Amino acid sequence: MPEVLKAPLVVEFPFTRSLGPVQSAFLTGLREGVVLGVKAADGRVLVPPVEYDPVTAEEIRDLVEVAPTGTVTTWAWNHEPRRGQPLGTPFAWVLVRLDGAGTALLHALDAPGPDAVRTGMRVRIRWAQERTGAITDIACFEPYDGEAVQPAGHSGEFTDPVTGIVTPARLDYTYAPGRAQSDYIHALSGRRTVGERCPSCRKVYVPPRGACPTCGVATVEHVEVGPRGTVTTFCIVNIKAKNLDIEVPYVYAHIALDGADLALHARIGGIPYDQVRMGLRVEPVWTEDARYPDHYRPSGEPDADYETYKELL
Amino acid sequence: MSKEPVAVVGVGQTRHVAARRDVSIAGLVREAAQRALRDAELTWNDIDAVVIGKAPDFFEGLMMPELYLADALGAVGKPMLRVHTAGSVGGSTALVAANLVAARVHGTVLTLAFEKQSESNAMWGLSLPIPFQQPLLAGAGGFFAPHVRAYMRRSGAPDTIGALVAYKDRRNALKNPYAHLHEHGITLEKVLGAPMLWDPIRYSETCPSSDGACAMVLTDRAGAARAPRPPAWLLGGAMRSEPTLFAGKDFVSPRAGRDCAADVYRQAGIADPRRDIDAVEMYVPFSWYEPMWLENLGFAEEGGGWKLTESGVTELDGDLPVNMSGGVLSTNPIGASGMLRFAEAALQVRGLAGEHQVDGARKVLGHAYGGGSQFFSMWLVGSEPPGA
Ligand SMILES: [Zn+2]
């Protein structure tokens, strides 16, 4: 059995977020070196602030400045900081109840080792050198044995508030297409298209998934299909996609390869786009080192009769 | 024991626009939820559970809305559930909420769906670069356009039908203050003159990208009796799924859609949907899906859907108005789009649809679909309780 493939898959995107009034004030405050909480109906000051009271569900907007000093309420040591975490050297994740706040804020504590951290220890904010209006404006917390700092009583009003942030998301996977897809991909490297037949309904799946989605049984019998096929339906693409280097207009078609019971999707070339039609007979055009046919072109055969492909649109 | 009858007593939605930069996602959902509560004249304390739905996580990078939004939706100390079914999610979310009431698990449930497309990227979410696979060649429109061509071939529909749908839906949207697109001065010529993006789909025949949320308050008989305004009664609701791709899949008229509609009609005692149903609010992200779904939902025989559109039957003043609100073609916060269809159906039978009210609408179908035409959810609501 040929080797089952795998490859890294990184999914990342810079999502944006509009902040709304409360988060806007909180993050703008951080930019200005001010920590703001919001007063809940029960009198507690919530830090970080939220827009809606967690007890009464009412809207809350009463912003209150709290101190940059506080007390660790609990912690966990992080032996191996990972990409994107607040510090590059081992540190403690801490929940810090800032002086004046009724709830604790999650952040990092810069400490030489776990022996230097304890619940109840006093800490203060170490501000980032460059601040933009983000939680990373707090570089981390650091141990502090001085007096509690009195907040100045900021109103929460700013002249140039931060209203939106970018929150990059990234997920690292190892992707494995599985046995059936691996077989299919190996066959393609020899320019052969090999599907699998369902032992129950006898349909030939291309690309194969290792199981028939209709019958729910494993498919193992390999069946070579094509290389020629029939255009069953198509559209003419007139807008350029960002990630594709294809000149528009081009034809994006569903192609039923001879012997397959499911249409593949591919580009049609070698014919003016406005002459492509349902029933057109086509064959693959390969380029050097490509995993898939670059496109399909007319094979020169007469068009297929609609009745022969109407179930394969 | 029979099911508890379910009533819609509150409907709320945001004014849908391209970008709501003034609010967080929490602030956005809050607006819709509060409008629904106000409509029902209820408070957060009157809600027993919250059921929410949204677009697929990759679209907007929001993985656990039930965690993030519990306080904004007054769900603290209450059950909160999240539903996933791609574009149909707004419909299936409402049905999950309805089932909680029908099963007498909860008396009054808040259900809500949303999406901030301005902070999402559906195109990116749909085209992750999976190793060894060919990149998707054409985007969402490119995925659906070949199916539209297949419908045209199968039905013999004239190629102007899609433009008629877009022209109608955009005019309906002018009567709906909540709709995203308000194209004053729209003409059929303008629709026909728009560029082809994925021929046979013109730019003017595609849906916009919207920020918005929709919420409903569902309740039992006792709750309906206390409601200040007329309720909409659930007469039938169903969901069906099928694989995205399988040998024999009919993309023009998927079996899951046909079966789902048949289940709803059986529950509601609908013998002939064309005769017994007064209006339909269906999920039409590309104009041609109106005639396609008219057939799939049994309002026309196979190949006959376009004739209803062409003859004006689906106009706001026609015999079977379709997409009175302006539809998905005028407003598309994807995660909320299904619920907006269900909510419009409820508003119509309650007589509260405003300028786009259909006179005498007593039974109205709300319809949603999603994924590669693989998830379907529908409900039929009426002005009278079931069995009346
Ligand atoms: Zn099978």
Q: What is the 3-state secondary structure (H, E, C) of A287-307?
A: CCCCCCCCEEEECCCCCCCHH
Domain carrying residue A295: 179-312
Please tell me if residue A61 touches chain B, with a CB cutoff of 8 Å. no
Residues A191 and A78 in one domain: no
Looking at residue B137, what is its pLDDT? 66
Q: Are B173 and B182 in contact (CB under 8 A)?
A: yes
- Choose the closest CB to A7 out of B132, B147, B199: B132
Going by C-alpha positions, the residue among B96, B64, B99 that lies closest to residue B83 is B96
Tell me how close the Cα of B238 comes to any Cα of chain A, in angstroms: 21
Does A233 contact B61 at a Cβ distance shorter than 8 Å? no
Q: Note whether residue A171 is domain-resident.
A: no
Distance from CA of A121 to the nearest CA of B (A): 30
Query: pLDDT tens digits for B114-142?
Result: 999 999 887 777 777 788 887 766 677 78
Cβ separation B24–A20 shorter than 8 A: yes
Examine the domain organization and report whether A22 and A159 are in the same domain. Answer: yes
For residue B279, give how far its alpha carbon lies from the nearest alpha carbon of chain A (Å).
Answer: 31
Is pTM, for the whole model, over 0.80? Answer: yes
Residue B83 Cα, gap to closest chain A Cα (Å): 22
User: What's the pLDDT band for B58 if we cut at 50, 70, 90?
Assistant: confident
CA A180–ligand 1 middle distance (angstroms): 15
Statement to judge: residues A37 and A96 lie in one domain: yes
Cα dist. B59→A119, B114, B228 in Å? 40, 12, 38
Residue B276: what pLDDT?
Answer: 98
Whether residue B323 is predicted with pLDDT greater than 60 in this model: the reply is yes
A18 and B23 in contact by Cβ < 8 A?
yes
Q: Which of A165, A197, A219 is the last residue of a domain?
A: A165
Which residues have CB under 8 Å from A157's CB, separation 6+?
Answer: none
Q: What's the pLDDT score for residue A2?
A: 62
Mean of pLDDT values over B293-313: 98
Query: Are B7 and B216 in contact, with CB atoms under 8 Å apart?
Result: no
Distance from CA of A170 to the nearest CA of B (A): 10
pLDDT tier, B296 (very low <50, low <70, confident <90, very high otherwise): very high
Nearest to A238 among B124, B137, B196 (CB): B196
Where are the domains positioned within chain B?
Answer: 7-122+208-382
Taking the centre of ligand 1 as the mean of its atom positions, its distance from the CA of residue A279, in whole angstroms, is: 26
Enumerate the residues of chain B whose CB falls inside 8 A of the CB of residue A238: 195-199
pLDDT of residue B1: 64
The pLDDT tens digits for B353-375 are: 999 999 999 999 999 999 889 99
A39 within some domain: yes
Q: How far apart are CA B165 and CA A118, in angstroms?
A: 67
- Contact status, residue A51 vs residue A40, Cβ threshold 8 Å: no
Chain B: residue nearest A246 by CA?
Answer: B137
How many cross-chain Cβ pairs, A to B, lie less than 8 Å apart?
166
Which residue, A165, A187, A203, sits at the end of a domain? A165
Does any CB of chain B come closer than 8 Å to the CB of residue A7? yes
Classify residue A172: in a domain, yes or no: no
What pLDDT, in 10s, does the model give residues B171-194? 999 999 999 999 999 999 999 999
The CA B245 to ligand 1 mean position distance, Å, reads 13
What is the bridge-based pairing of β-strands A7-18 and A63-66? unpaired
The dotted CATH code for B7-122+208-382 is 3.40.47.10
Q: How far is the CA of A199 from the centre of ligand 1 (A)?
A: 7
Domain assignment present for residue A250? The answer is yes
The dihedral built from the CA positions of residue A62, A67, A73 and A74, taken in this order, carries a sign that is: positive
- The pLDDT, as a whole number, for residue B228 is 98
How far apart CA A205 and CA A219 sit, in angstroms, is 9
User: Considering all CA atoms of chain B, what is the largest pairwise distance in Å, rounded to the nearest integer?
Assistant: 59
- Please state whether A33 falls in left (phi above 0), alpha (psi between -120 and 50) or beta: left
Are A205 and A288 members of one domain? yes
Interface predicted TM-score (ipTM): 0.93
Please give the C-alpha separations between residue B71 and each of A14, A53, B80, in angstroms, as whole numbers: 26, 7, 11
Cα dihedral sign for A99, A104, A108, A113?
positive
pLDDT at residue B267 in the model: 98
Structural domain tally of chain A? 2
Strand residues in chain B grouped as ranges (E):
7-13, 49-54, 80-83, 108-116, 196-199, 201-202, 211-219, 232-241, 279-281, 363-370, 375-382
A207 Cα–ligand 1 center, Å: 14
What is the nearest CA distance from A93 to chain B, expressed in angstroms? Answer: 21
**Whole-number Å distance between alpha carbons of A299 and A104:** 70
H/E segment holding residue B29: helix B25-40
Query: What is the Å distance from ligand 1's center to B375 Cα?
Result: 21
Last residue of a domain, one of A141, A165, A189: A165
For the record, the structure tokens of A130 come out as 């460059």
Same structural domain, A31 and A156: yes
Split chain A (313 residues) into runs of 10 and give each run's mean pLDDT. 84 93 98 98 97 95 97 98 94 98 98 98 98 97 92 93 94 93 94 96 94 94 97 93 80 96 94 97 93 95 96 88
Q: What is the pLDDT of residue A157?
A: 94
Residue of B nearest to A8 (CA): B131
Asked if residues A124 and A142 have their Cβ atoms less than 8 Å apart, the reply is: yes
The answer to whether residue A272 is domain-embedded is: yes
pLDDT for position A49: 97
- Asked if residues B296 and B253 have their Cβ atoms less than 8 Å apart, the reply is yes
What is chain B's length?
388
Surface-to-core class of residue A184, CB atoms within 10 Å of its CB (0-12 exposed, 13-18 middle, 19+ buried): buried
Closest by Cβ to A236, choosing from B124, B130, B199: B199
Taking the alpha carbons at both ends of chain A, their separation in whole angstroms is 33
* Coil vs helix vs strand at A31: helix
Residues A125, A68 contacting (CB under 8 angstroms)? yes
Burial class for B304, CB neighbours closer than 10 Å (0-12, 13-18, 19+): middle
Q: A80: which 2 tokens?
A: 């191996």
Q: Can you tell me the distance from the alpha carbon of B100 to that of B106, in angstroms, rounded to the nearest whole number?
A: 6
Give the Cα separation of B320 and B98 in Å (integer): 26
CA-to-CA distance for A45 and A66, rounded, in angstroms? 9
Neighbours of ion ligand 1 (CB under 5 A): A 198, 200-201, 212, 214-215
| pLDDT tens profile B203-221 | 999 999 999 999 999 999 9
Q: Does residue A278 share a domain with residue A148?
A: no
